[in-house]
Amino acid sequence: MNSFTVTCFAPAKLNLFLHITARRADGYHCLQTLFQLLDYGDQLHFTLRHDKVITSHSTLDELKQLPFEHELCYRAAQLLQKNTGTSFGVDIRIDKKIPLGGGLGGGSSNAATTLLVLNELWQLSLSQDQLAELGLQLGADVPVFVRGYSAWGEGIGEKLQPVELPEMWYCVIHPGVSVSTAQIFQDPLLTRNQPPITIADFLTGRCVNVCEPVVRRIYPEVDHAIHWLSQYQPARLTGTGACLFACFEEQSEALAVQNNVPSQWSCFVARATHRSLAHAQLDLLKKRLHHVSGL
């Protein structure tokens, strides 16, 4: 089977709220968050190789400029090779829609989809626990995408409990700046000692994104966009930004806001999903691979 190619989705996420309860000795922060997966994301294409070579290419200029060994699909594939000794390789093509440095978890999601697909394509038989543990070495947001469900997250984001929320519509604005997650987590003015909350507290609205004041101060464009979106619905930052979102019951309401977004910002409308669309595709891929011989 010389040029066997599979395509799989890599969804974006929103942090519906983000609290920091402590800082660990290694500098990482203990979080509470609600990861909401979306039906908006990147498409990844994987072509099997039999020679251990890994390549990754993207449609996006910013990713093309990244040294190839820093790209997260490449790193995920390399990590799997190192941990399993497989003799397979892969060519990966990334059709990028999720903005970089947007707080939408695009890089982490790409890494997770790569782990999930290569586990099948390379016939590695690793469990989801093993993939999530490996993924955590690549980024704190990788495990939620490996698990593939919207979830209440604790620890540094790897302790996950599935949560089924109403599948609302989200209008997500990217205000044209890229925020470094590390820079925000290092900011001396970041609040790091919030008391833990419960899911019930979240449902009654007693939650914030604790990074929002820091990001709004450093990036006036984010502040401006949050003000603008708040005229329609309460608006909030996702992750460490730069994207912000508002929630709507009807798709038409979200689309109406999207139509009015000032031209200097980009915007998309997406539906919340309990289960990652990547996992639905993966089930189909497993069936397909089952019928293909000679891999």
Ligand X SMILES: Nc1ncnc2c1ncn2[C@@H]1O[C@H](COP(=O)(O)OP(=O)(O)OP(=O)(O)O)[C@@H](O)[C@H]1O
Q: Is 141 a catalytic residue?
A: yes
Query: Between 177 and 289, whose beta carbon lies closer to ligand X?
Result: 177
Does 11 belong to an annotated binding site? no
Check residue 269 for interaction with ligand CDM (CB under 6 A).
no
Among 89, 107, 135, 143, interactor with ligand X by CB under 6 A: 107
Residue 56 touching ligand CDM (CB under 6 A): no
Please answer whether residues 295 and 50 qualify as being in contact, where contact means their C-beta atoms are separated by less than 8 angstroms. no
* Cis peptide upstream of residue 242 (ω within 30 degrees of 0): yes
Please give the C-alpha separations between residue 147 and each of 51, 132, 261, in angstroms, as whole numbers: 30, 7, 34
* Site membership for ligand CDM, residue 139 (CB under 6 A): yes
Q: Quick one: which of 235, 294, 270, 287 has its CA closest to 150?
A: 270
- From the list 25-33, 77-85, 221-229, 281-289, the region that binds ligand CDM by CB under 6 A is 25-33
Q: How far is CA 188 from CA 191, 192, 214, 241, in A?
A: 8, 10, 9, 17
* Residue 201 designated active-site: no
CA dist 137 and 79 (Å) reads 9
Judged by beta carbon distances under 5 to 8 A according to partner kind, the member of ligand X, ligand CDM, none in contact with residue 20 is none
Q: Which of 13, 39, 64, 187 is catalytic?
A: 13
Helix (H), strand (E) at residue 145: helix 142-147
Residue 113 binds ligand X, judged by CB under 6 A: no
* Contact predicate 37/11, CB 8 Å: yes
Positions 119 through 138 that interact with ligand CDM (CB under 6 A)? none
In this structure, the strands spanning 244-248 and 169-174 are antiparallel
Annotated binding site for ATP: 99-109
Contact residues for ligand X, defined by CB under 6 A? 63, 66, 70-73, 94, 100-108, 110, 141, 181, 239-240
Residues noted as catalytic: 13, 141
Contact residues for ligand CDM, defined by CB under 6 A? 15, 18, 27-29, 31, 33, 103, 105, 108, 139-141, 156-157, 181-182, 185, 239-240
